[in-house]
Amino acid sequence: MGQIHLEKVRKAFGEAVIIPELDLQIEDGEFVVFVGPSGCGKSTLLRLIAGLEDVTGGQIVIDGQDATELPPAKRGLAMVFQSYALYPHMSVRKNIAFPLKMAGMDQAEINRRVDYAAKTLNLDNYIDRRPAQLSGGQRQRVAIGRAIVREPAAFLFDEPLSNLDAALRVGMRLEISELHQRLKTTMVYVTHDQVEAMTMADKIVVLRAGHIEQVGSPLELYSAPRNTFVAGFIGSPKMNQLGGAEAARYNAETIGIRPEHLRLSTTEGTWKGTVKVSEHLGSDTFLHVESPVHDEPLTVRADGEFPVHAGDVVYLTPEEDKIHRFDAKGLAIR
């Protein structure tokens, strides 16, 4: 079980209100990702759920039980910190065994569980080393190992991969996803990485200044963003947002069109522009095109190689059914 309901949760540090009033339902077995710009309160929200911060108002209900006043250890949740927070003077084995030891479990059962966790996470070879003797990825695995031995109702991750290099991050991302497939335990995951959010989540929660802007599956957020903020935040490269006359043609204050939904041509199209920067990746081509319809360059993505370079003239045609329309308040018009 791992059902977490936040009801009218508020958090203020003194005068500063970080989370105004927030409702959120996390169902059992879900992989929920919190995304949002830096300082929007993702970590704070996670720490509220963990019990490391006290709520200023509202209720946190875990598995139908009011957990608002419970100390962290009693909530049955496990957390993986961005800094890993391993105990430096303990071996990997002792690190993983620590929560079990604190729970007063008998040594045989502790050994059984630690060995099992070590095997699942490929930690066997350095089980007797200290954290200082491990690489970043290995430390991350130990931190996850320490979390899984407790068999918690839910895992909380605060940007667990942000200290790893790009290649390792991809690997660990897969491992965590696999772990979720296997354990089917609720996971709440904070990140500001687009790709992590899109690939791992069952449900993404987009936060801005402590407010939930939208909750939904990755594809829902991608294809039907509720407002301009979500539209700009989800998807990489960012959605192009145009105002003025072009938007008025579609009866909207702002229109949005994703880089992959602009068709490219060197001969004809709706909008004429000049290539400012071209990025050729082989698999994709990204162009930044200056055009009179918008004061900022438009980002365009073409599949495969598209042979144009800075200074060349190109024509862009938006795919009509992929245009997002927003009203004066920035809300989507459906």
Partner 1 sequence: MATLHTKSAARAMMAPAVIVLLIWMIVPLAMTLYFSTLNYTLYNPFSTPFIGFENYTYFLQDPTFLAALANTLILVLGVLAITVIGGILIALLLDQEFYGVNIVRLLVIAPFFVMPTVAALVWKNMMMNPVYGVIGQFLQAIGLAPIDWMTELPLLSIIIIVAWQWLPFATLILLTALQSLSEDQKEAAEMDGAGALSIFWYITLPHMSRAITVVILIQTIFLLSIYAEILVTTQGGPGSQSTNITYLVAQQATSYGDIGAASAGGIVAVILANIVAIFLVRLIGKNLDA
What are the residues binding partner 1 (CB under 8 A)? 50, 52, 71-73, 77-79, 81, 83, 85-90, 98-99, 102-103, 130, 132, 146, 150
Q: How many residues bind Mg ion (CB under 5 A)?
A: 1
Question: Which residue in the set 18, 19, 34, 43 belongs to the binding site for Mg ion (CB under 5 A)?
Answer: 43
Question: Which residue in the set 15, 38, 132, 267 belongs to the binding site for ligand ATP (CB under 6 A)?
Answer: 38
Question: Which residue in the set 130, 192, 208, 325 belongs to the binding site for ligand ATP (CB under 6 A)?
Answer: 192
What distance in Å separates the CA atoms of residue 74 and residue 69, rounded to the nearest whole number? 10
DSSP, collapsed to helix, strand or coil, labels residue 125 as helix
β strands within the chain, DSSP E: 4-13, 16-26, 31-35, 57-62, 65-66, 77-80, 154-158, 186-190, 203-208, 211-216, 240-242, 254-257, 262-265, 271-280, 284-291, 294-303, 313-318, 324-326
Lookup: tokens for 98: 């620590």
Q: Candidates 35-43, 114-122, 196-204, 292-300 — which segment interacts with ligand ATP by CB under 6 A?
A: 35-43
Contact status: 39 vs ligand ATP (CB under 6 A): yes
Residue 322: name its binding partner from Mg ion, ligand ATP, partner 1, none (Cβ under 5 to 8 Å by kind). Answer: none
Whole-number Cα distances in Å, 270 to 247, 255, 309, 326: 14, 15, 20, 21
- Nearest Cα neighbor of 235 from 221, 245, 254 is 221
What distance in Å separates the CA atoms of residue 289 and residue 310, rounded to the nearest whole number? 9
- CB-nearer residue toward partner 1: 52 or 170: 52
Residue 192: name its binding partner from ligand ATP, Mg ion, partner 1, none (Cβ under 5 to 8 Å by kind). Answer: ligand ATP
Contact status: 44 vs Mg ion (CB under 5 A): no
**CB 144, min distance to Mg ion, A:** 18
Contact status: 191 vs ligand ATP (CB under 6 A): no
